[in-house]
Amino acid sequence: MIAIQIDARSRVSASSRRMPDQATSRGTRYPRCMTITPDRGEFLDAPFFPEGMTTPDPDDPINGGYFAAAAEGRLVVQRCSDCGARQYPPELNCHACYGFEMDWEESAGTGSVWSWVEVVHPAHPALREFGPYMVALVELDDMPEIKVMGAVVDAPLGGAMAIGARVRVVFERTSDDLTQPRWRMA
């Protein structure tokens, strides 16, 4: 049996229970650990993964075609050769028919923001200089069943991103052998 003790003194005060879009009387506050970067236009030019961070393997047998296309400036999703179903992220087999013959289909790389979050707390201490930043789940125009997540490099901060906002894909070289898609406001 597991017992959990709740300390009544740890309750959140009514003044701190605000909806994300409600401003405080002092405006938007970011944690002290964050360095706010005034010119976010250099986001794509900065090395994204600091030394020591785990990065995706561009030679992975499942994701290799995805990263190879990104290195060429193309956004692709998996397509089953047997049933034609598309899927993202890449997997070993088709989610619709369980077939193992998977190909790649190119997307035009435009879409609409389906959901978003403003990342304020860095996922790794070395990422402090990149925050805060926006991450969006984007519904592709030419493949509406596919939603691709990525950073929006020029998104407005402070909760100003809108569901349905138009975006287009851009590509960031995140290391010597890895290029990843990001999004830019259209």
Q: pLDDT tens digits, residue range 114-162?
A: 999 998 887 777 777 777 889 999 999 999 999 999 999 998 888 789 9
Domain definitions of the chain by residue range: 55-185
Mean pLDDT estimate for the chain: 79
pLDDT at 13 over 50: no
For residues 141 and 183, what is the distance between their CA atoms, to the nearest angstrom?
14
172's CB contacts (< 8 A; 6+ apart) are 43, 44, 48, 153, 179, 180, 181, 182
State the pTM of this model: 0.71
Instruction: Say if strands 133-140 and 166-175 run parallel, antiparallel, or are unpaired.
Output: unpaired
